[in-house]
Amino acid sequence: MDPWQTLTTDYEQRRSREDSLDRLMEWDAQRSMIGSVEGRTILDVGCGNGQKAIELVTHHGAASAVGVDIGAEFLPGPAEVAFHTADLSSLDELDVLEGRRFDVVLFLQTLAYARDRARTLRTVRSLMTEDGVLVVSMAHPIRYAVERSERDGVGIGDAYHAVGPYSYPSLWNPEITVTHTTDTFSTIHNALTGNGFGVEEILEPQLSDEKKQRYPHKQAWLSKYVGIIILRARPA
């Protein structure tokens, strides 16, 4: 069984907390990179419970949204939002996407879990309109470099360049081990440019000064692990 079939509930519970980084800064930063979705069609790959896809339709004017996630614990949404249970590594086998075209495609903390990143990116490229927008949000490469350095007793530089599968107990349920690919800046960038996209903008969000003061435990974590990186790209 894929660990995310078990972890979805734990993840969504943690994400909904007042002091989650998703609520404090990540979603606002992701929204700024997505831009206006008025009248646009959205594909959210690895959508979790689908809350963000629903929000983009009900509060930001998107025409419709499709969410795909292996966890299958979706919130009820309006008729313009459809959810499908599937693995992001095999989107090209999902019949309901055949013939569809999307203006906005989102990978919000999910692309690193694709078993064949090139295959997944080529698939979403084929599903996008020519003026579409791809937004990829990922753990900052420095985060796992620091973690690997501490765990394995190696230098941060060596850990940073140890690109490949990384397994560790989930932060949301330590009884479950998750595995994904760690990256350098270049592997993230080159995966996009090598599979049909041009990178337009990169953002590394941080807490506002007010939130740094209000949530010092979160700022302490960010001071050590940096946080996330968000890339905005378009079909090349």
Tens digit of pLDDT for each residue in 188-208?
Answer: 999 999 999 999 999 999 999
Considering the chain, what percentage of its residues have pLDDT values greater than 70? 97
Whether pLDDT at 218 is above 90: yes
pLDDT tier at 210, thresholds 50, 70, 90: very high
Whether pLDDT at 177 is above 90: no
Distance CA 56, CA 210 (A): 27
Tokens 């404090």 found at? 24
What is the dihedral angle through the alpha carbons of 16, 124, 114, 23, rounded to the nearest 10 degrees? -20
pLDDT tier at 4, thresholds 50, 70, 90: low
Q: Which domain holds residue 83?
A: 4-235
What was the pLDDT predicted at 175? 82
Tell me how crowded residue 182 is: count the other CB atoms within 10 A of its CB. Answer: 22
pLDDT tier at 160, thresholds 50, 70, 90: very high
pLDDT tier at 16, thresholds 50, 70, 90: confident
Whether pLDDT at 132 is above 70: yes
Q: Determine the average pLDDT of the residues in 157-175.
A: 88
CATH number, position 14: 3.40.50.150
Q: Determine the average pLDDT of the residues in 134-147.
A: 96
Q: Which long-range contacts (CB under 8 A, 24 or more apart) does 184-191 make?
A: 184/141, 184/160, 185/141, 185/229, 187/163, 188/136, 188/138, 188/141, 188/229, 188/231, 189/231, 191/117, 191/118, 191/121
> Across all residues in the chain, what is the average pLDDT?
94
Counting the structural domains of the chain, the total is: 1
